[in-house]
Amino acid sequence: MTEERLIISRKTNNKFFLMIAIGVVLLIAGIIIAAMSGGHQAEGHGEAAAAGHEAAHWTKRLYMNLWLNNVYFTGIALIGVFFVAVQYVAYAGWSVLIKRIPEAMGYYLPIGGAVMLITFLLGGHDIFHWTHDYLYNQFLEDGVTPNPQYDPIIAGKAPYLNFWFFLIRMVAYFVLWILFFNWLRRNSLNEDLQGGTNYYHKSIRISAMFLVVFGVTSSTSAWDWVLSIDTHWFSTMFGWYVFASWWVSGLAVITLAVIILKQNGYLKMVNANHLHDLGKFVFAFSIFWTYVWFSQFMLIWYANIPEESIYFIERLGGNGGHFKWIFFTNLLINFAFPFLVLMTRDAKRQMIMLKIVTIAILIGHWLDFYLMMMPGTMRTDAGIGFIEIGTTLIFLGVFLITFTKGLTKASLVPVNHPFLEESVHHHV
């Protein structure tokens, strides 16, 4: 089997850099507009409420956007590694021809780790309410006067939610993820060079270990990076919910990348059968995401316990109905649209249908993460403007550059994979 190399033209690379440049311009324009309109954020909690000063407004919004996009794209990169690991452990043959695409997604992880660390160290107070020291002191400095800002609930979570433990966990996640990504990638490339089944069996063992690590860290990172924004609130389904959102987004990226490469004359042996399987994945896990969404929402709505239902009240009726349209758009784009469009067999085999649905899903799940993070931090000051669009374009450009560079580093066809023939003759 001959190898197939991807060559990224200078024109394509320039498009990615242009995307980043447009993002930077929009971001700067957004910051100037936000700074000129002044800070009106005294009603929020945290530092902005205490100080009530103007600067907190646009800086907080900037940190939130950095955090939102980085959590989103880091999750997609991680799903690339997860997808490869699942294929190995399942002894899957159909996916061999497309396996280099999820493999290359993992190249974003080191950038994700660096951005995450810097954003937390610079903007932790703006993102996380629990990072403020005054919440943990029961009394003021004289040791007698009760501290009006003391929060017994947050103080009770201090053994888990504290600056150093949070930081250690964050570093540990990325170290483990990057380690396993490099390990799997190295075996995959060596297999190309040396053949045999030795690397294949080794990859299965590495994947099995990674899946155990992923099972734990995908949930705990979701608690840390997303759930702890609403520090008082908790949900036992939240780890699953974030995973479902990441997983569908990751599948959409894999499917979209396969289609775009195919339309540009690459992946010649990939056919409608492979697309059909990817389409089934996207279709099925859009329903899975909805199942988790509904289970979480329905139980909280039905029980109607104030400390639980506040989460959805803030997103539906609270904050002056500020997030209501996103709440319903989220369900429409991420469930109704893929469910209705991809229901037939033909739709799952047509590039144009899959392309439309995957792009919609990627926008939809970005909105999903937006809805998880913004109501608890920005309150009614949240919006989707130049700052949001600009930051997203910058992250998208960086992700595309690292992803495509990763794709060019090896043959698009894993020439010595033991199941390559099965994948070439795959038929559903």
Residue-level pLDDT at 3: 85
Q: What is the pLDDT of residue 2?
A: 78
Looking at the chain, the number of H-run helices and the number of E-run strands are 17, 0
The pLDDT of residue 50 is 38
| CA–CA gap between residue 150 and residue 140 (Å, rounded) | 9
pLDDT confidence tier of residue 45, bands split at 50, 70 and 90: very low
Q: Residue 41 pLDDT > 60, yes or no?
A: no
Tell me, what's the pLDDT at 57? 76
Q: What is the pTM of this model?
A: 0.94
Query: Looking up tokens 């509904």, which residue turns up?
Result: 294
What is the arithmetic mean of pLDDT over 273-302?
Answer: 97
Rounded to 10 degrees, the C-alpha dihedral 216/220/226/227 comes to 120
Q: Which residue has the higher pLDDT, 51 or 30?
A: 30
Taken in order 78, 81, 83, 85, the sign of the CA dihedral is negative
Give the SS3 label for residue 90. Answer: coil
Q: Determine the 3-state secondary structure of 233 from DSSP.
A: coil
Section 171-184 average pLDDT: 98
94 half-sphere exposure, CB direction, 13 A CA radius? 15
Q: What is the pLDDT of residues 64-108, one digit of tens each?
A: 999 999 999 999 999 999 999 999 999 999 999 999 999 999 999
pLDDT at 373 exceeding the cut of 50: yes
pLDDT band with cut points at 50, 70 and 90 for residue 37: confident
pLDDT(248) > 70? yes
Write down the pLDDT at residue 42: 34
What mean pLDDT value characterizes the chain? 93
- DSSP bridge partners of 139: 146
310: amino acid identity, one letter: I
Q: In the chain, where are the structural domains located?
A: 15-37+54-128+159-424
Overall size of the chain counted in residues: 428
Q: Which amino acid is at 418?
A: P
Query: 340: which 2 tokens?
Result: 């209705």
With CA atoms as reference, report the closest residue to 113 among 73, 159, 86, 151. Answer: 73
- pLDDT of 54 higher than 80: no
Q: What is the pLDDT of residue 379?
A: 84
Return phi, psi of residue 83, to 5°. Answer: -60, -45
